[in-house]
Structures are given as structure tokens and as C-alpha cells.
Chain A
Amino acid sequence: MIADHFPALQVVIPLLAAPVCAMVRNRRVAWLIALVASLAMPFIAGALLMRVLSEGPISYWMGGWEPPWGIEYRIDAANAFLLLLVSAIAAIIMPYARLSLDREIPHNRQPWYYALYLLCLAGMLGMAATGDAFNVFVFLEIASISTYLLIALGRDRRALMAAYQYLVIGTVGATFFVIGVGFLYVMTGTLNIADLAERLPTVANQRPVIVGLAFIAVGLCLKLALFPLHYWLPNAYAYAPSATTAFLAATATKVAIYLLLRFFFTVFAKTFPFQEIVVPVIWLSLSAAAIVYASTAAIYQENVKRMLAYSSVAQIGYITLGIGIGTEAGLSAAIVHIFNHGVMKGALFLLVGGIAYYGGTVTFRRIAGLGRRMPLTFAGIVLAGLSMVGVPGTVGFVSKWYLVTAALERGWWWLAAFVVGTSLLALVYMGRVAEAAFFRPADPAAEKHGEMPLSMLIPALLLVGACVYFGFATDLTADIAERAARGLLGKAP
């Protein structure tokens, strides 16, 4: 049965399609290949998720080699959910990319772009699917290196600098991670994640294990841009091509967060309870600082993409805040927000990319008065923006509800107050966009253009629709997030 090999195909299809794209010299053919490959992904991910939900975790032995000798792909509710998010976002962005890239990247380089896009996708899906710690590192490098290039291909010269910055920091992160994995291997003699979890307790209090844990934690925090390790993110997002930004913002940091959860809760849970790995006070203060600092920074940006990038740092703070609460409810809130933030930030970056399509950096001066000429675009931005604030009827509200509930369940009313209080900062920075677009007079010298082309507008509005749809129908997101949280905590699903 082909369906038995879905865990492998999930990663192998984009991995194999990538070199084909690179070899084709025609940008349209390359796009078509990338489109077909990425459109197939959500179906595979959906099938995997359904199977996990009905039959429990899937263990797939690569090449038929039995773990822990061979590489095992292990899919449970948490990573099946993530696979679906990443592949769905990648598939939605692909139709958008065709015209958007035409304006942003020289035509002869576009096949390379599609190849890198697929490699990056394969890397992220691989990180999510694999059950082997070293394999994680391999895919981490595949995803990272292709990401650097995806950013550097941006039209803006500053994209080069941003990519270089990210390359340095990203490499530090990946290296830290592999050093940490090395320590664990030395101590236990295994790289299989499930096996690591079994064997670590026997060597629990030895220093190399603790050092390994520290390296892994810091390395992953660099990748997920936890304050104050977020420095690379705003520039990278601001100057990359629109399609890259939307793709990375919705997926890349989310995969890093997933890995963090996997290591904290699956690998180390039996060795050190979560409360000992991350001292809650430090973890929560870093998350809170991320929220306050990045939201405030977002308010003062002139470049809209940079503003959204800072907002991403802040939203990651909400996710880590949920993790820091440390209960099942907190973890559910974090996982729900991984999905919800992916959807809304993806929508926002795609919509802003549609303004960039007509040239020029998207600044507040540039969008002044644009609301009347691009009504659908800005209606979408307003809706997704309301979702960032957490207005009911949007996914942002669902996240906020779970987060506040989790905080109150522990009796941490001050944390609940902090969560709702800081949403006002999102109100300010998203409100600025709406106000500029609808109530500020347009620059008379500006080019007169209408909506972006339909092939870009439809994918963007599809994500906006998802922001509203999943705000009412939470069966998929919230229920699966709860099961994923239970799974990570080692409880019966």
C-alpha cells in the first residue's frame, strides 16, 4: 500500500522535486513542478493526521531498518498537526508565488528559487516527521541553508545583509544543537528520540547530559527567535521576497518550537521534569519581555513588513508563554497558537506582498489612502489584524481564550491580565495600518493601481478566510491541539 509510505513520501517528494526544478531552465515549468509537489503535501499530511487520530502514533522504519539502528519516522498528533500546517501554507503560497516572484526575482534565477523553496519545505517537513535526533540536524541544515538563499534572493540589497546575519546566527544555532545531540549520543549511545527518552534517566545527573540539554535549548531558541535571541528575524523578514517572508513567518519558527517541545517533553521529561529544565520564572520573563519589547518596537516601525516581523517575535512570546505555564492547558494554548499565528501572519504577509507587487518598500507613507483602491486587500488586513488583537470570531480570540484559561487554571491571574493587557499593543500597531490606509490622504504623486492580480489575491484571502473559519469551528485546531498536548505530556490521547 502506498499509504503506508506516506511518512517518507511527505519528505521525499519535495526533496526529489527540488533538483528537477533546478535542472529545468524554464521558470514556468519549474513553477508547475513545484506547484504539483507542494499541492500534494497537504493531502498526504491530512491522511497522516487522520490515521494518527484514529489509530494512534505511526512508526515508520526508513528502508525497513528496525530502530534504534535504522532511522525511524514517528508521527503523533503533535507533529501530524504541524505537518499539516507547514504543507498547507506551502501549498497556498505556491500559486501566489508565480506573479509575485516575476516582479521580485530575475527570471533566469526563478527555477533556483523554486528548487530552494522545495528544499526548505522538505527540510521543515523532515524535522517534523523524523524520530531521530541526528536526522533532525540534517534536515535543520537543509532547511536553514535554503532559507538563507531564499532571503538573499530578495530585490532589496539589504536582503543580502539580512541573510548574512541570519546565516551567522542560524549556523550558531544549528551547531549548538548538534553539539547537544553529540553529548547525548556519547552518554547514551543512541540517536533515536524514543530510545533517548528511555536511556537518559540512567545517566540523569551527569554533567554532559545537562550540558547537552543546555546546548540544545539555546540552539533551538536561536532558531525560534525567543527574545533576546530574535535579532536576526526582523531584517530577514523585512527584506526577503514576499513569498519567502510569508512562508517563513508562518512555518519556520513554528517547526523550531515544535522541536523544543519534543526535546523538553518527550526526550527529557523522564530525566528532568519540565519545571527543572526551564526555570519558569526565567522562561516566563523572557516570553513576557518578548511580547512587550517586540510589540512596542512594532508600533514604531515605518516599514510595514518590519512591523509585522516584530509582531511575529511578540507572538512567539505568547507561544512560549503558553509552554511556560507548564500544564496541559498551557501546552494546548501554545500549540493552538502555533497554528493560529501561522494562519494569520501568513495572511498578513501575503496581503502586504500584494502591495509590494506594485513596487517600492511598503511603508506607512506608501499605503496612505490605499484602502479605497485596494478594498479587498485592506479588508483582509483589517480582519487578520483584528485576529492579532484577539477579537472574537477570529483565530486570535481562540488562542487568547486558551491562554487566559490556562493561566487562570493555575491561579496566575496576573499572567491572564498580562495576556489581555498586551493585546492592546497589537491594537495600536494594527490600528496604525488601518488608519493610514483608510483615513490618510493618498500621496498625489503615487502610482495609481488597483488590487493585486487574482492569482495572488485568492490565496491571501483564503488564509484570511481561515482566520475567521477557525475562529468559529475549533474542532480541528483546538481538539487536535489538546490531543497533541496530552501526547507530548505522555498521557493517553
Chain B
Amino acid sequence: MSPATTLLVAIAIPAAASVLIALAGRKPNLREAVTLCAALAMFVAVASLVPGVLGGGRPATGAWSVLPGVELRLALEPLGMLFALVASFLWIVNSLYSIGYMRGNDEPRQTSYYVCFAIALAATLGIAFSANLFTLFLFYELLTLSTYPLVVHKQSPEAIRAGRVYLFVLLGSSIVLFLSAIVWVYLRAGTGDFQPGGIVSGAFSPGETCLLLALFAFGVGKAALMPMHRWLPAAMVAPTPVSALLHAVAVVKAGVFVVVKVIVYVFGVDHLSAVGAGDWLVYVAGGTVIIASLIALMQDNLKRRLAYSTVSQLSYVILAAILLTPLSVIGAALHIAAHAFGKITLFFAAGSIYTASHKTEVSQLDGIGWRMPWTMGAFAVGALSMIGVPPTAGFVSKWFMVSAAFDTKQYFALAVILVSTLLNAAYFGPIVYAAFFRRAPEGEPAHGEAPWPIVVALTVTALGSITIFLAPDLPLALARQLAGGAP
């Protein structure tokens, strides 16, 4: 199979799986088997593309012309490779976890849950493989629409309200701002293709470049740049595996992925830094990092705390990318992977706690560490990764960001990273401390670990986080290529 065909096949696998899952709805075991097989097959397909990309290959499919000059087309580049690899690997783990969680909590409507999940993954890969802005936008909207039923899964009035916020902010921002930006680029630059070095230089004046960047940065609501972040805490009403894979990995990473991709391949790092149109974004992203961390500090609900932590961590990626040096771009790309592993571990742990003990608040977690050692051990690893302490993945990406900030003498960015590290420690530290060093309140019913698929899943992701620290070669190689290094 040629790499270009593999791109199509990789997207077709989850798409086809969604149909098969719907057909197998009456037989839960068969249905879950389809999900797991599809996840494995998709990962194999995506992984088979890695050697080619590392060797400098940039496979691309043929184009289907939709409007004059506007095409539907897939192509692979290093950042998309990294994103697809992370998302497809974590889908396997998450599917295992989903099975334990959905069955352990007797959730209703499981078939439509797995169907929507598969479609969401197809959309995620579509975003990763898009060759131009139009294709990207198509899959971006598909991702929003396919995850909406997952957010309102409980169908409680609260869930429906959250669903409204979710749909309105994400679809609204994308149609009003993101789409305007895309049309503008097509109209002025004559193309929306992602090209190394960018496509807008010469077509936009400095002021317009600034405005265009704002349209992209705020229009991509999935990147949760303040004030476009409201949908993310709202989405936490969804079942935890949804929060874990979609609202810590696929959806939000799709957001920052788009921002990084637009900065690198539409604006061009050199062009943007020559024009100086991105300076303001440093402050907005930096502000988001700090403010979201402060809000996280005040949340007692564990999932909401994690959600605000995600908002803050996403802006790390934007902050790194907009420093506009090769080092910082590497940091941004690595942080997409590092945060994915760390945050999915934390959500897995939150869901594990809920399944075993039905606890949702931070203040209820005293002494839980000794009852659920695997869960809280993994949680500790995830928390360290968020703070950026070795031996976890978070350290690697933060290292590059700090170096870049030093190199460019961006002391504001440096200060933001340092302060937010302290804040991260302040809101994750007490959880780990209370879990292991405080006594459990008297008279609480005893409980052990969550079902084994859940424990296996969160152990795997925690180990993954450590592995990236010990052996960062693959993500680093891809990130270097993104930043303009030779393959």
C-alpha cells in the first residue's frame, strides 16, 4: 500500500468501524471487539507511515476540487504525523478504559457512544492529515458535531445546557471567525495549501496579518484561548473517557494543532517574526496560562480542576509556538504529545476514582492513595508531568520552551512559565499529598481499585509519560523536522 493510500485507509478504518459498531449494537462483546480491532488497525496504519516521514517523505493524495481553487486533499507532514500517532495510540488505551468505565457504571446508550467516538477519531485523523485549510475546516466541524452527542450523553438538563454552550461556542467561533479567516486567505493568497514557509507573505499588510492571526487564534475555539474557553469546563459533564480522550487529547489538541500548523505553514515562522504581528498573542496566551491556573486552583470538583488545567496547558503550546524560534516550535510540538499523555492519565485516574468510590470532589480524596495505589500512583506521575518535573514528558517540552524564552529574551514568557509551574504545583500537589498522607475519614465504606481494564489503561499512559522522558527520540525527530531541520 502506498503511503498516500494509507492516509485514506487510516481515516476509513474508524469511519467504517462506526457503521459496524452500530450494526453490532445488540451484542456488546462483539461491539467492543470492533472498537478495539479498529483502534489497533488504525494505529498500525498510522505507525506504518512513520519511517517514511522520518526519511523526509511527504505523502499526499490526489485532489477533489470543490470550488474553484478550493480542494479536498490529504497530505502528511511531521506535526500531523506526531498528532495522529498520539491520538491513534491513545484511542487503543482509551477504548480499553471505556469498556471498563461504561460497563462499571452501567451507562445507558453505549452503542451510540462508541459510534460517535469512532466518528470523532476519523475526524481527528482528518484534521491531522489535511493538506489545506478547507479540508481542515471540514474535519474540524465534523469533530465538533460528532462529539456533541457525547457531551450530552447523560441527557440531564445540566448536560443539555452544557451541550448548548459546547455547540454554540465551538461552531459559532469557527463559523464566524475561523471561516472568515479561511475565506480571506483563499481570496488574497489564492490558495489555502499548507506550505513550509507560509503562503501569506506579500498578500497581507502587517496590520492585516495581525487581524488575520487574531481571527485564527480566537476562531479555533478548540484551542480554548481565553475568552473562548468556556466550552471546555462545560464539556466535563460527559462520561470520563470522553473527557479523557476527547477533551484532553483529540479535540483540544486538534485546536492547538491547528494554531501551530497555521503559524508554521500559513503565516510562516520567519514571516510572522519579521512582521511582528504575533507579539500580542504572547500576552493573550500568557494571560490565559496564568488566569486558567488561578481558576483551577479554586475548583473543588476534580474534573473541573483538570479542565482548567487543560485550558492553561493548551495556551503553553500557543505561547511556545508564537515565540517563533525553531526551539520554541519544537517545544510546542513536544508539548502536544507530552500534555496528551499526562492529562489523559489524570482523567483516567479521576474516572477510576469515580467508578470505584463515586467521589468527584478534591476534598473527598483524603487517604484514598492507599486504597487505590495504582490509580493514585499514576495520578502522581501525571501531576509531575503537568508541573514539568523529571522523569516525565512534561519536563522535556518545558525545557525547550524555557530555552527558547531565554534565547529570545522574552522575559514575559519566561515569567509566565515559572509562575504557572508554581501554580501547577499548588493545585496538583495537595491532591497527591492528601491521597497518601492524610487519613481517610472514619466510617467510610471500604473500596478497592477500579475494574482491571481501567487500571491497565491508566498504568499504560503513565508509563508512556515516563517513556517519552527517557526516550524522546521519535517525537523530537518529528518536531525538529517541523521546525525546519533536515530529515
Contact = CB atoms under 8 A, between A and B. Distances in A.
Interface of A: 386, 389-393, 398, 400-401, 404-405, 408-409, 416-417, 420-421, 423-424, 427-428, 431, 435, 438-439, 471-474, 478
Given A439-B152, A472-B66, A472-B72, A393 B138 contact: yes
B54 interface: no
A392 B141 contact: yes
Given A398-B67, A474-B67, A390 B180 contact: no
Interface string B60-91: 00001011101010000000000000000000
A408 B149 CA distance: 35
Contact of B160 (A398, A417, A428, A439): A439
A110 B67 CA distance: 44
Contacts of B410: none
Contact of A420 (B137, B167, B180): B180
Interface string B99-142: 00000000000000000000000000000000000100110011
A337 B172 CA distance: 21
Given A398-B67, A474-B66, A424 B172 contact: yes
Q: Which 7 A-B pairs have the closest CB atoms?
A: A392-B138, A420-B176, A404-B183, A391-B141, A424-B172, A439-B160, A439-B155
A423 B67 contact: no
B163 interface: yes
Contacts, number: 73
Contacts of B183: 401, 404-405, 408, 416
A424 B168 contact: yes
Contacts of B152: 439
Nearest to A392: B138
Contact of B171 (A389, A393, A405): A389
Contacts of B160: 435, 439
Interface of B: 64, 66-68, 70, 72, 134, 137-138, 141-142, 145, 149, 152, 155, 160, 163-164, 167-168, 171-172, 175-176, 179-180, 183-184, 186-187
Contact of B175 (A393, A398, A424, A478): A424
Contacts of B184: 408
A424 B176 contact: yes
Contacts of A473: 66
A393 B142 CA distance: 9
10 contacts: A389-B171, A392-B138, A404-B179, A405-B183, A417-B176, A427-B167, A438-B149, A472-B66, A473-B66, A474-B66
A420 B168 CA distance: 14
B163 A423 contact: no
A421 B187 contact: no
Contact of A423 (B145, B175, B186): B175
Chain A contact surface mostly: helix
Chain B contact surface mostly: helix
Nearest to A423: B175
Given A392-B134, A392-B137, A431-B167, A405 B175 contact: no
A472 B160 CA distance: 32
A420 B176 CA distance: 5
A162 B462 CA distance: 67
B175 A472 contact: no
A409 B176 CA distance: 18
A427 B171 contact: yes
A440 to B, nearest CB: 8
B180 A416 contact: yes
B64 A408 contact: no
Contact of B172 (A398, A416, A427, A439): A427
B175 to A, nearest CB: 5
A468 to B, nearest CB: 12
Contacts of A393: 138, 141-142
A405 B68 CA distance: 12
A288 B70 CA distance: 28
A401 B175 contact: no
Nearest to A440: B160
Nearest to B142: A393
B187 A431 contact: no
Given A427-B175, A439-B152, 12 more contacts: A390-B179, A391-B145, A404-B180, A405-B186, A405-B187, A421-B176, A424-B172, A424-B176, A431-B167, A431-B168, A435-B160, A439-B163
A278 B145 CA distance: 41
B64 to A, nearest CB: 7
B85 to A, nearest CB: 26
Given A408-B184, A439-B152, A439-B160, A390 B67 contact: no
Contacts of B137: 392
A438 B159 CA distance: 13
Contacts of A391: 141, 145, 171, 175
A427 B142 CA distance: 15
Contacts of A424: 168, 172, 175-176
Given A401-B67, A405-B187, A420-B180, A431 B164 contact: yes
Q: Which of B152, B167, B183, B186 gathers the greatest number of chain A CB atoms within 10 Å? A: B183
Contacts of B186: 405
B145 A389 contact: no
Contact of B168 (A386, A409, A421, A427): A427
A473 B142 CA distance: 19
B180 A389 contact: no
Contacts of A421: 176
B103 to A, nearest CB: 22
Nearest to A420: B176
A392 B176 CA distance: 13
A485 to B, nearest CB: 14
Q: Which of B163, B164, B179 gathers the greatest number of chain A CB atoms within 10 Å? A: B179
A93 to B, nearest CB: 28
A443 to B, nearest CB: 16
A291 to B, nearest CB: 14
B260 to A, nearest CB: 21
A417 B176 CA distance: 7
A247 to B, nearest CB: 29
